[in-house]
Structure 1
């Protein structure tokens, strides 16, 4: 662990404070915080650190308030998730022993390089500060006292600083596409659409075709997949399963996760339709029939009621929702597009180690004692993974937590709280208003071998 840098600014030089602020660059792992004056609250110091990371929505009068322990857990989780490596704290001479102890704990849990800038005009003031630091177990100090050396230690201004959110993405809007089946879809699009619209539609179609071929190449043939048995040697009955003799694809969870990954970044239902039709054509090229609901674009789920997590949306989530659980819950609504009641069933263990997929075992929560069927599988896009990782770390650091407990417990508890969550994020959530009483479209997907007589 690096030593604590103690920068003793005897003259309270404005240039030092200015240099520290200019050096900050959260995206590059460096933050600078100037603690809120006239308060010794431990929670306020945590919120000051969150603000330095760019998470400052709590400054609004109607924002959600976090308790002290929760705020410090959020600081720790965001530090680890976003790889903050260095934190400069100004006016450290005003910090109470309790605040310094919190900083010491934060440093011990994250390994962060801590830089304290203190105004110590007299030897007595410096002695008092060192006494408080020793009481907080901050004893491995590297002290610098003259202004020139302090400025050198802080370093030059961060290059390439670009405040504000990233620009919005431009997406070519697609017209309503024909509802024909996979056999006639591409030809119908070519006949009905103008040249530009067909080119964009065909790009989505070809992307789905290539993704399906690649995915199938990496998977064993359906007939070769083993069937699992229970402790008595019997094969569990799955209400969605089809006998192996029919050539049905046995790994429904894997199939549905593939469809979720294919469509989670889709900017509109029309883009999703083109991707799915291309994927169906890719399956047919391997003598497999991929069946999806006929009313696909009237359903909910990936690519229909989801919103792509672009850099701008990821910035909005990270900025406006400093609580890791709230940020992850909002992100999950965006990338799953599913009903809140289903998403509320998400367990801590539902997210895999690398935060790439989210699985919801709905049947085991509703029908106690019933053998579980295929889980609801959702793909977590790369820009949402840090949010889910931070939420997992936050929940696991909460006292008396086990992996079977709810990850988003309390996030969707009341309509008022949820409305505030959406307002804080400032994003559109189609899953909230889209009428889709049926299950998400990809959970009804099926795949089977084509009989030899039907292979062309």
Structure 2
């Protein structure tokens, strides 16, 4: 299937800016480097000397974007086409707008043609800095640019004019990874049910710990009330057949199980610890009960794993680590999915291109229909994609759709996990702790095992519920 990005209107392309530096002025090179700020959409790259390799030029651009793990001795190597697909996908999904390429007079027509294709596909503003001391050098450069179909040029000459065309130096550029996020650590929480949980926390904790625990509880309560006000479907008819896990007598099961699973995943996907998750879930249960809905979750969330239990919040530092250590968009997205789903790798390997919605906000895995062919599919396994992981998933989708012979029913993470050796190498390359790997849980994730029923009774506030 053709990617929507490939069938859309060609991005508007500003003219190529050709900076003709007759004197090879060091101040111009310094200004070009100082202009770079990848987080604000500007990069500067100096192509690797003494090689005409197309792959090396792509890797130089990835390095300028901050994705430079391929320089490690045992890092993954990307061939020419995958490397250029990675450059294109990261450009489209990270807001890259301007690229300065130094020593453009040394680029072969083939390398210039690759840059022209990159510009055509992304609409990036391409700035070429060339050293042309004589008219003959400038003539040869123009012939190469014409052969590469780079004809809409704006030539700039003279040191002052070139410095003005480059622009002012970037400010506020960060060196190194972002600082780690801090969350107040909660103590061990009681394993009480919804009726006694809040009261037990108040009795066992000091004032500060209870204030933080209660804050998480209230957040879950408010989120549940808000979600129910917007998404509450009508209850099932009274004569609906009861499932094996039937609820209380007279109760009717909740119908939108996919919506419920997605709500629970969104509630807990950024939870910094299992204790925070438990407090949020108990608050959500109280919010459901206040609307005459019984939300039942496994007694031991840790035994099941899943969002908020075996997940890692995708903080700015984690996102930086993934993108810098894994230049391949597929591998970066695969590890991000392991972190924000917390699910088992065999289930995640069933992810298809069609499993992710257009806005990359949710991931839905249809496991049942893939295992039991011919059986009507049941509710899918739903996971929320946190905001900082969405560019990674969007880049992976773009990368896969630009790969030849790709269709939406094919696996998104095909060849990312593969054999145990390949999977071990993937985890090693990330240098990020992946709880789902060290905490295997063969059972369904806790939010998938959750159930809900309409009690068909007047809504009453549960003991200890928020006002």
TM-score range, shorter chain: over 0.9
SS in 2 for 1:359: strand
CA contact (8 A) 2:290 2:460 kept: no
What is the aligned partner in structure 1 of residue 344 from structure 2?
Answer: 339
What is the aligned partner in structure 2 of residue 169 from structure 1?
Answer: 181
What is the aligned partner in structure 2 of residue 75 from structure 1?
Answer: 87
Can you list the C-alpha shifts for 1:142-194, whole angstroms capped at 9, x where unaligned?
00111111011001100111211111111111111100100000000000111
CA contact (8 A) 1:8 1:120 kept: yes
Question: After the TM superposition, which parts of structure 1 deviate over 6 Å for at least 4 consecutive aligned residues?
Answer: 235-245
- Please report the TM-score for the alignment, with normalisation by the length of structure 1: 0.95
Task: For residue 453 of structure 1, report the CA deviation from its aligned partner.
Answer: 8.0
Distance 2:62 2:246 in 1: 48
What is the aligned partner in structure 2 of residue 30 from structure 1?
Answer: 42
Distance 1:113 1:370 in 2: 52
CA change 1:376–1:238 in 2 (3 A) is farther
What is the aligned partner in structure 2 of residue 439 from structure 1?
Answer: 444
Query: Quick check: 1:395 aligned with 2:407?
Result: no
SS in 1 for 2:231: coil
Distance 2:351 2:246 in 1: 24
Query: Quick check: 1:371 aligned with 2:383?
Result: no
What is the aligned partner in structure 2 of residue 276 from structure 1?
Answer: 281
Task: For residue 298 of structure 1, report the CA deviation from its aligned partner.
Answer: 2.1
- RMSD, aligned α-carbons: 2.1
- Please report the TM-score for the alignment, with normalisation by the length of structure 2: 0.93
What is the aligned partner in structure 2 of residue 151 from structure 1?
Answer: 163
SS in 2 for 1:358: strand
What is the aligned partner in structure 2 of residue 14 from structure 1?
Answer: 26
CA contact (8 A) 2:46 2:102 kept: yes
SS in 1 for 2:29: helix
Query: How is 1:75-114 mapped onto 2 (pairs within 5 angstroms)?
Result: 75-114=87-126
Query: How is 1:285-434 mapped onto 2 (pairs within 5 angstroms)?
Result: 285-434=290-439
Task: For residue 45 of structure 1, report the CA deviation from its aligned partner.
Answer: 0.3
Distance 1:151 1:221 in 2: 62
Distance 2:42 2:246 in 1: 52
Can you list the C-alpha shifts for 1:24-62, whole angstroms capped at 9, x where unaligned?
001111000000001100000000000000000001110
Can you list the C-alpha shifts for 1:295-328, whole angstroms capped at 9, x where unaligned?
1122210000000011111111111110000000
CA contact (8 A) 2:35 2:169 kept: yes
Q: Which runs of 5+ in 2 are unaligned?
A: 1-12, 462-467
CA contact (8 A) 2:236 2:254 kept: no
CA contact (8 A) 1:222 1:248 kept: no
CA change 1:417–1:10 in 2 (3 A) is same
SS in 1 for 2:374: coil
Task: For residue 220 of structure 1, report the CA deviation from its aligned partner.
Answer: 3.2
Number of matched pairs: 448
CA change 1:125–1:207 in 2 (3 A) is same
Can you list the C-alpha shifts for 1:214-251, whole angstroms capped at 9, x where unaligned?
000001343279xxxxxxxxx99998899998421100
Task: For residue 437 of structure 1, report the CA deviation from its aligned partner.
Answer: 1.8
CA contact (8 A) 2:304 2:441 kept: yes
What is the aligned partner in structure 2 of residue 132 from structure 1?
Answer: 144
SS in 1 for 2:127: strand
CA change 1:122–1:218 in 2 (3 A) is same
Distance 1:154 1:454 in 2: 65
Task: For residue 417 of structure 1, report the CA deviation from its aligned partner.
Answer: 1.9
